[in-house]
């Protein structure tokens, strides 16, 4: 039984890291899709400088991966399953935002996708809190970032009709 428990926790850890890798690679692919279009957009006054984007994303991806492994190793079966499912849904919503925004430039639909990702990220933080309080705290910058990005996403269609 102990070997089986170790195996499922290992698989869950690999799943959490794999999820973050898909997120990082997928978002990077779509965000780099058409940089000239993005540069031409009128930006909201509260948008952070580009340097902040370059600093926060590596932190966010690293925090998600580390916390995912910790939850997989320490959480109950239900908490691990919930973290992976909610995490996957959040990543799907975030990738939908990246594709909608940078692909067909459907900014309104992209904003809705990002709002869904933000809501799911809040749920992810709550699930994490039930397993590891420091892990939940480590995910707070990501939650704040996704909420800030959501506010920016809703501003873009207004500023760029």
What's the predicted TM-score (pTM) here? 0.91
Residue 122 lies in a domain: yes
Residue 41 lies in a domain: no
Residue 82 lies in a domain: yes
Residue 139 lies in a domain: yes
Q: Which tokens go with 142?
A: 């990501």
Count: domains in the chain: 1
- Helix, strand, coil shares of the chain as percentages rounded to 5? 85, 0, 15
Residue 1 lies in a domain: no
- Domain containing residue 147: 12-32+49-159
Residue 38 lies in a domain: no
Residue 141 lies in a domain: yes
Position 121 scores a pLDDT of 98
Position 19 scores a pLDDT of 97
pLDDT band at 27 (very low <50, low <70, confident <90, very high): confident
* Whole-number Cα distances in Å, 73 to 77, 79, 119: 10, 11, 25
């Amino acid at each position: 039984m102990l070997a089986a428990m170790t195996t499922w926790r290992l698989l869950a850890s690999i799943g959490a890291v794999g999820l973050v890798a898909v997120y990082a690679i997928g978002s990077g692919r779509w965000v780099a899709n058409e940089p000239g279009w993005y540069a031409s957009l009128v930006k909201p006054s509260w948008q952070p400088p580009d340097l902040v984007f370059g600093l926060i994303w590596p932190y966010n991806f690293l925090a998600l991966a580390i916390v995912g492994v910790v939850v997989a190793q320490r959480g109950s079966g239900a908490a691990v399953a919930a973290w992976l499912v909610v995490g996957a849904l959040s990543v799907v919503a975030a990738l939908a935002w990246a594709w909608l925004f940078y692909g067909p430039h459907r900014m309104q639909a992209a904003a809705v996708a990002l709002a869904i990702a933000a809501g799911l990220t809040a749920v992810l933080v709550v699930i994490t809190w039930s397993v590891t309080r420091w892990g939940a705290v480590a995910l707070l910058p990501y939650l704040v970032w996704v909420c800030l990005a959501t506010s920016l996403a809703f501003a873009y269609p207004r500023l760029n009709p």
